[in-house]
Chains A and B, each alone.
Chain A
């Protein structure tokens, strides 16, 4: 298994090195993959896990403050349309993209405080509101607009989150980031 991975890695990183704009307080793992031709912006205190892949070939990628992008995620995947837009993916502040989730490029917007669950897929041009929860393996079709505080279930069911704990959740995210910063060795210099 590990030998397989090694054979893939160089091929991917051989792609174009994108221009980046990093805040000085971000944490980005050495083995994160940043490719593409457009600008990738990562704002303050966000964490990019190892082997997360950000591809700006189809447009700009902007990641807000205190976001967590987990392993094996794919942000800026070129969708079926293959269209190149000015902004590919925009993540608001306090967004969590969990393991193996993929977000297609094409003016896709994820609102503040939203959690994209494990293995979820978000289609090109979808707009997810603020403080939404996408449960694992949810698929959002391209162009879908999800209102704020929606809980999306993988079977297509929805519910409105009435807890009103957005602030608490953000606080929790900040605390989690504190821990992650100590655990993940950061190497932003590799990408600049």
Chain B
């Protein structure tokens, strides 16, 4: 089993009110806590998982004088940027271009490695059909290459004419090298079709449409289909003859009624199609029946895909993560029967990242704000809890009396059941005022295996975090005033005394906690040991008090200092000390 490093997690006070406000079932330990104020916080309660944080994760609101955790913070996005080229993307672009980098930053679709643009040197003896004109212009084509796994966009038949603006080029190319139809081309193609249709008889037109369905209809991409359908329905809405085909009695209710259709279209296109004239026209209209009207018959013949699957390996198919990381591609063929082979994956432009500033949800003050420039990692404002509340570090204490003269115990060692162990908790004061600390811990840890806990010195003061040099000058006074430090090297000479601090430094104090770990022996009928149930965790209530000079606020800075009035502040929270694993059996 991996040795356990001691840890200190702090419970954000925001979870207290949450548990109070919500009625929970009677068996849950948190509900018991809500009923009875004296009850201790149980670090093993399921809900505790969501409220415990290491000190480093916590922020502090200077106006509310309260700890703020990632759960009780309002985030605001300050900057969008590409993690690859570190280019800032204005949020207006985001709406039109999407949340991916539109420069030439791409990720390998297979292994997520960054892709780089490389020129393709055509080998002299290229069997490719296009070889003659490509050989004439050397270095004229480019591809994206993954330097990690050697994936190349040529594998999916994508090559580029220019080494820049790859994103725009890629958007125009479909897998296999065929170019995506532009809106203009689509219009021209449609014109051609309708022209043909007008000349021929109705039957001939239907036959032509059927033919184009099998050849052209199948490679109709999503975009083309949508455009065709949109055009078709628009023409239906505008057509005055559409109403008179006998279904007008159904009124406005059917699928095919123009008004319900325009309502649906409004949902998708944001009201552009809203036509007040359409409302007056009632009645049904026909559905799309040809490919150029947007009808796409599902291709139920999947035999070629199945045989491809037979021929390929499991590893040739794309994993769901690979498929999910693919950007939406409107140029791709219809989803029906879409294969999920690695060979159909396209280079994925990098997803943009954000820099966020954080606000206190109560007073709306900003408590964390990064520098707007993408390249800097500095913060303009960052009120981390570590600079307001004392940090607690844990060290195992070796006393000759209790642990025996054997080898000194090290942190991470298993704890012997029923044998008293001592831990040294060091509280370090980060603020410039002296702190008064009061600790409260239950005599027995909650849970199935209660260990006995005794905090030998539950109340003490920590000196202010003053300047190191001031401290050096003051040092002599202190020695004379009797607050001498204990030397770390000679700790075995000292006895643990109740009510006395163990060691004191410039802005820190060490105290001793005695623990008698529980025996993990299971009695008959007891469930097996759950995961991490052997970890000895003690809940501890920390209350800190300090005084600030009144008028520390901006408005009365000058006068406040003159009056020398002190204002009392206090902060109280639960924390959990993870001390180690108890030996089993």
Chain A residues within CB distance 8 Å of chain B = 133, 135-136, 151, 153, 157-163, 165, 167-168
How far, in Å, is B364 (CB) from chain A's closest CB?
A: 46
Chain B residues within CB distance 8 Å of chain A = 110-111, 121, 123, 148-152, 154-155, 313, 315-316, 342
B148 nearest in chain A by CB position: A135
* 8 pairs, CB–CB < 8 Å, chain A vs chain B: A133-B150, A151-B149, A153-B111, A159-B149, A159-B151, A159-B342, A161-B150, A163-B152
B156 nearest in chain A by CB position: A162
In the complex, what distance in Å separates the CA atom of A24 from the CA atom of B149? 34
B342 nearest in chain A by CB position: A159
In the complex, what distance in Å separates the CA atom of A159 from the CA atom of B342? 9
In the complex, what distance in Å separates the CA atom of A179 from the CA atom of B342? 37
In the complex, what distance in Å separates the CA atom of A159 from the CA atom of B154? 15
A155 nearest in chain B by CB position: B111
Contacts of A168 in B (CB 8 A): 121, 123
Q: Is the CB of B123 within 8 A of A159?
A: no
Contacts of B123 in A (CB 8 A): 165, 167-168
In the complex, what distance in Å separates the CA atom of A176 from the CA atom of B150? 18
Contacts of B342 in A (CB 8 A): 159
- Which among A133, A151, A157, A163 is the interface contact of B154 at CB below 8 angstroms? A163
In the complex, what distance in Å separates the CA atom of A133 from the CA atom of B151? 10
In the complex, what distance in Å separates the CA atom of A136 from the CA atom of B315? 19
Contacts of A157 in B (CB 8 A): 110-111, 315
In the complex, what distance in Å separates the CA atom of A135 from the CA atom of B148? 6
In the complex, what distance in Å separates the CA atom of A157 from the CA atom of B314? 10
- Known: A168-B121, A168-B123; 19 extra A-B contacts, CB below 8 A, are A135-B111, A135-B148, A135-B149, A151-B149, A151-B151, A153-B111, A153-B149, A157-B111, A157-B315, A159-B110, A159-B151, A159-B315, A159-B342, A160-B316, A162-B155, A163-B152, A163-B154, A163-B155, A165-B152
How far, in Å, is B98 (CB) from chain A's closest CB?
A: 28
How far, in Å, is A20 (CB) from chain B's closest CB?
A: 33
In the complex, what distance in Å separates the CA atom of A160 from the CA atom of B154? 13
How far, in Å, is A105 (CB) from chain B's closest CB?
A: 28
How far, in Å, is A74 (CB) from chain B's closest CB?
A: 23
In the complex, what distance in Å separates the CA atom of A157 from the CA atom of B321? 14
With A153-B111, A168-B121 known as contacts, the answer to whether A163 contacts B150 (CB < 8 A) is yes
* In the complex, the 3 A-B pairs of residues with the closest C-beta atoms, listed nearest first: A163-B152, A133-B150, A162-B155
A171 nearest in chain B by CB position: B121
In the complex, what distance in Å separates the CA atom of A161 from the CA atom of B150? 7
In the complex, what distance in Å separates the CA atom of A133 from the CA atom of B342? 17
Contacts of B151 in A (CB 8 A): 151, 159
In the complex, what distance in Å separates the CA atom of A167 from the CA atom of B150? 15
With A135-B111, A159-B342, A168-B121 known as contacts, the answer to whether A151 contacts B155 (CB < 8 A) is no
In the complex, what distance in Å separates the CA atom of A66 from the CA atom of B316? 32
How far, in Å, is A173 (CB) from chain B's closest CB?
A: 14
B150 nearest in chain A by CB position: A133
Contacts of A160 in B (CB 8 A): 316
In the complex, what distance in Å separates the CA atom of A90 from the CA atom of B154? 32
How far, in Å, is B320 (CB) from chain A's closest CB?
A: 14
In the complex, what distance in Å separates the CA atom of A168 from the CA atom of B428? 63
Contacts of B154 in A (CB 8 A): 163
Q: Is the CB of A158 within 8 A of B111?
A: no
Q: Is the CB of A158 within 8 A of B150?
A: no
Contacts of A133 in B (CB 8 A): 149-150
How far, in Å, is A60 (CB) from chain B's closest CB?
A: 31
- Which among B121, B150, B316 is the interface contact of A151 at CB below 8 angstroms? B150
In the complex, what distance in Å separates the CA atom of A159 from the CA atom of B111? 11
Contacts of A159 in B (CB 8 A): 110, 149, 151, 315-316, 342
In the complex, what distance in Å separates the CA atom of A133 from the CA atom of B155? 16
Contacts of B150 in A (CB 8 A): 133, 151, 161, 163
In the complex, what distance in Å separates the CA atom of A163 from the CA atom of B143? 11
Which one of A153, A158, A159, A165 has the highest number of Cβ atoms from chain B below 10 Å of its Cβ?
A159
How far, in Å, is A158 (CB) from chain B's closest CB?
A: 5
In the complex, what distance in Å separates the CA atom of A165 from the CA atom of B111? 20
Contacts of A167 in B (CB 8 A): 123
Contacts of B149 in A (CB 8 A): 133, 135, 151, 153, 159
In the complex, what distance in Å separates the CA atom of A34 from the CA atom of B210? 74
How far, in Å, is A154 (CB) from chain B's closest CB?
A: 9
Contacts of B148 in A (CB 8 A): 135-136
How far, in Å, is A111 (CB) from chain B's closest CB?
A: 15
In the complex, what distance in Å separates the CA atom of A160 from the CA atom of B315? 10
In the complex, what distance in Å separates the CA atom of A161 from the CA atom of B148? 12
In the complex, what distance in Å separates the CA atom of A167 from the CA atom of B154? 16
In the complex, what distance in Å separates the CA atom of A108 from the CA atom of B55? 52
In the complex, what distance in Å separates the CA atom of A135 from the CA atom of B111? 10
How far, in Å, is A96 (CB) from chain B's closest CB?
A: 12
Contacts of A163 in B (CB 8 A): 150, 152, 154-155
How far, in Å, is A138 (CB) from chain B's closest CB?
A: 10
Contacts of B152 in A (CB 8 A): 163, 165
Which one of B123, B148, B150 has the highest number of Cβ atoms from chain A below 10 Å of its Cβ?
B150
How far, in Å, is B221 (CB) from chain A's closest CB?
A: 24
How far, in Å, is A171 (CB) from chain B's closest CB?
A: 9
Contacts of A135 in B (CB 8 A): 111, 148-149
How far, in Å, is A139 (CB) from chain B's closest CB?
A: 16
How far, in Å, is A163 (CB) from chain B's closest CB?
A: 5
In the complex, what distance in Å separates the CA atom of A153 from the CA atom of B149? 7
In the complex, what distance in Å separates the CA atom of A165 from the CA atom of B150? 10
How far, in Å, is B118 (CB) from chain A's closest CB?
A: 10
Which one of A136, A157, A167 has the highest number of Cβ atoms from chain B below 10 Å of its Cβ?
A157
In the complex, what distance in Å separates the CA atom of A135 from the CA atom of B149? 6
